[in-house]
Amino acid sequence: MFCDRCGGLMLPKNKKLVCQRCGAEAGIDNEEDYRIVSRGEKKEGVVVVEEEVRTLPTTRAECPKCGNLEAEWWLLQTRKADEAETRFYRCTRCRFTWREYQ
């Protein structure tokens, strides 16, 4: 129920409804309609799942560090817009990253 004076929320207290903002009081018609239900206990802690999700495309490229023949790749505009983008590679085995200018 909401307060007629200020529009604040009215909660039951000592068999009356009391406004949380202005303190106005109102009678309760049916006590079973107005009751505060306590919430459950808060759960402590957060479960962290560490899972490596690989979303980049892969291609055949030799890693200069470990010699693996598979790498993830992506393009990035590192210079002016009228110049070609730079292709980056990341080895799927040792995670070494290198670039290729076009």
Which tens digits make up the pLDDT trace of 53-99? 788 999 999 999 999 999 999 998 888 888 888 999 999 999 999 99
DSSP state of 63: -
Tell the residue number behind the tokens 């290729």, with chain if given.
Answer: 100
What pLDDT does residue 44 have?
79
* 87, part of any domain: yes
- Tell me the pairing of strands 25-27 and 58-60: unpaired
The closest alpha carbon to 59, from 47, 49, 69, 44, belongs to 69
**Residue 93 maps to which CATH number?**
2.20.25.10
Just list the catalytic residues. Answer: 82-83
pTM higher than 0.75 for the full model?
Answer: no
Give the residue numbers spanning the domain of 72.
58-101
Task: Look at the chain and report how many structural domains it folds into.
Answer: 2
